[in-house]
Amino acid sequence: MTGRVVVLTGGVGGAKLVLGLAQILSAEKITAIVNTGDDFQHFGLHISPDIDTLLYTLSGRANIAQGWGREGESWSFMSALRSLAAEDWFQLGDGDLALHVLRSHALAQGHALSNVTAGFAAAWNLQTHILPMSDQPVSTILTTNEGELGFQDYFVRLRCAPKVNAIRFQGAGTAKPAPGVLDAILDARTAAILIAPSNPFLSIDPILAVPGIAAALSAASAPVIAVSPIIGGQAVKGPTAKLMRERGLAVTPAAIAAHYAGVINGLLIDWRDAPCDPQCPFATADTLMVSLADRARVAKAALDLAARLGAK
């Protein structure tokens, strides 16, 4: 593929796909539009988990085995925090704190999240364009059987145990796409727009909730291809399948396609879930990403489907 590629992505699963793309394309052709609905304030620090996961993954700093945070991380901060009887449900690694402290300081001085993120990427020599979905705060709020919960309360503190009745994206109504987001989607050189196999409800829907982004996806000449987060009737990681069941949905690629109806032009599904009829153009592949080669293979399969569908 000679064109550019845009990826809408959340954290871990999405970062795998972006890393796969970076194996088969020159990095400067890739633009990742990243969910910031998980962003939150903790001890006054602004934490952007999905952006950080992408930064760590693309720069080779991610702890692959653990699935989050930095490789070779140390934990003196958390230990000191516990000695001071402070809340310790959110793990802040010592090295990880550098991004949080520098970001919080820069935001407090009036810099935009997109600028701060670009600065981090530049310091680590990343050519991939990493854009927050918005520079304005958008917060994913879950209405559950235990009341309203912020994303991190639900995801980290309560380990996704509460039953979710509804999800809303506070602030999305007045948020604007970050600089570069609409340009990348609408760029005539963009040959494919991918939706990473991130959680559709918690990682991708917040991006689609930012006014202007869904319309740009429709208007784009590039086909929009989602990679199904379902593999053999399950999600690889996280609460995707649980959330689908709580909504009364079958845990199938067809349900994913229905969720993204009107947004996507094609779906890449895992062979374990075939045969199925997602009622949209699709391709089948082994979408499980364990090795680096797996990541590249899935990225290539998604781009192949985009190439097969061609410009809209």
Q: Which residues bind its own copies (CB under 8 A)?
A: 43-45, 70, 73-74, 76-77, 79-81, 83-86, 93-99, 101-102, 104-105, 108, 119-120, 123-124
Query: What tokens were used for 43?
Result: 């001890």
Residue-wise burial string across 209-237, b where 16 or more C-beta atoms lie within 10 A, e elsewhere: bbeebeebbeebebbbbbbbbbbeeebbe
Q: Which residue, 65 or 84, has its beta carbon nearer to its own copies?
A: 84
CB of 95 to its own copies, least distance (A): 4
Query: How near is the Cβ of 251 to its own copies at its closest, in Å?
Result: 39
Q: Distances from the Cα of 232 to the Cαs of 139, 248, 262, in angstroms?
A: 31, 18, 25
Question: Closest approach of Cβ 22 to its own copies, in Å?
Answer: 19
Q: Which of helix, strand or coil describes residue 306? A: helix
Instruction: Find the shortest distance in angstroms from Cβ 88 to its own copies.
Output: 10
- The two structure tokens encoding residue 291: 């090795």
Q: Are 36 and 8 in contact (CB under 8 A)?
A: no
Nearer to its own copies, 93 or 171 (CB): 93
> What is the per-residue burial (b if ≥16 Cβ within 10 Å, else e) of 92-110?
bbebbeebbeebbebbeee
Whichever of 86 and 188 has its CB closer to its own copies, that residue is 86
> For residues 53 and 14, what is the distance between their CA atoms, to the nearest angstrom?
9
In whole angstroms, how close is the CB of 157 to its own copies at the nearest point?
18
Q: Given the complex with its own copies, which of 123 and 290 has the nearer CB atom?
A: 123
Between 39 and 205, whose beta carbon lies closer to its own copies? Answer: 39
